[in-house]
Amino acid sequence: MDALRLFIDTFFSTVRDVIPIIAIIFGFQLFVLRKALNNPKRIFLGFFYVILGLSLFLMGLELALFPLGASMAEQLTATDFVGAALKAGGEINWQAYYWVYLFGAAIGFSTTVAEPSLIAVAIKAAKVSGGAIRVNGLRASVALGVAMGIALGCYRIVVGDPLHYYIITGYVVVVIQTYFAPPFIVPLAYDSGGVTTSTVTVPLVTALGLGLASTVPGRNPMLDGFGLIAFASLFPMITVMGYAQITAYLQKKHAQRSSQGEPMRFKLIMAFIEDAKTDAVLDAARQAGATGATIINNARGEGLVKKKTFLGLTLDVQRDVAIFLVEEHLSRAILETINDVGEFDATSGSGIAVQIDVEDAVGVAHQMRELTEVVKDEL
């Protein structure tokens, strides 16, 4: 009964919070753009699902995540678990809390990987970059940054150091990295700090900080308990830019080895594309790392069963065949880019792309020289 009453209160509170958003969206649609809503039933059903999901999520925070975070912090910092928490003279034995640092890093990494906002940003970044940014690579680098930040933040609470010492030092590192990091990754790295302060990460991290400050002797929950979120926002900037810098360095070394005549492995990608999408596919493949393509125009695509139109005449879609010879480590990103831009999965029969192993290749020395120059210019 208490749970039902809590759900009803939370539901109506969520409705009250969402109404301004609905009013702004519908107001601009109807009175500024002056256009009717497309699929109003689906839109209202979607808003209902949003409100219902938020209500259940907020109940979960209240009933599970907040108590769980506080309970874990209290148990991990209990005297019978950490042992000698105080040294002679009342000094904190920070080494006794190593399980707390490990738990903070683990919970920070796992919650960030599951963060819906980070998943959405990673998918969009991968599409916009044409595969230069990998979804899992970005998620892992952000999660690693949060893990490092939470572990260091827990250490700060235990030893009682001022918060601003760590934050100022961290932002100095960010400023230095901004100068040296590839320009395309800098805005994304800055945004990555924001997506970590979202629905899944914040409740557990906040509960951990408050619980830790409440149980460590001599700590004030208000002064020392808060601040973990600042670490969770700062360190992903460092790790995302570091991820880009390491990737750029490895690409540069790979290009240098290629220019020195070391053997390389290639893939042959063959894409059968609707002729209206050929230019868009070629541009996207080029951004993903392809250095050239051979195009066969006006190839005819035909299924097993012929399509019949007026008076029994057949009408076949004209297609182009694009053939790419690419380096093996770039092939998957280029293949996925071709699939996305060509919309192969969106509509049946809109096109296909395959990749084939290449045993050997000649006549690609000029391609390697061009690739090396491009890498030098861009990196």
| 129-153: pLDDT as tens digits | 656 677 888 888 899 999 999 999 9
Check residue 129 and give its pLDDT.
Answer: 65
Check residue 126 and give its pLDDT.
Answer: 75
* Maximum C-alpha span of the chain: 99
Backbone φ and ψ of 270, nearest 5°: -115, 120
Check residue 300 and give its pLDDT.
Answer: 63
Check residue 238 and give its pLDDT.
Answer: 92
Check residue 176 and give its pLDDT.
Answer: 94
Low-confidence ranges of the chain (pLDDT < 70): 1, 69-70, 73, 77, 79-91, 128-132, 196-200, 254-264, 299-318, 346-349, 360-379
DSSP 8-class letter at 289: T
Rounded Cα distance, 378 and 250, in Å: 14
Check residue 81 and give its pLDDT.
Answer: 66
Check residue 169 and give its pLDDT.
Answer: 94
CB atoms within 10 A of CB 349: 11
Check residue 166 and give its pLDDT.
Answer: 92
Check residue 258 and give its pLDDT.
Answer: 58
CATH 3.30.70.120 in the chain: give the residue spans.
Answer: 266-361
Its pTM stands at 0.61
Check residue 349 and give its pLDDT.
Answer: 65
- Options 2.120.10.30, 3.30.70.100, 3.30.70.330, 3.30.70.120; CATH for 266-361 is 3.30.70.120
Kindly give the residue spans of alpha helices, DSSP state H, lying in the chain: 2-27, 40-60, 66-76, 79-82, 98-113, 116-128, 135-159, 163-180, 186-195, 201-215, 228-259, 278-287, 328-342, 365-378
Amino acid at 376: K
Strands 318-327 and 266-274: antiparallel
pLDDT by residue (tens digit) across 65-99?
777 766 776 777 676 666 656 555 556 777 777 88
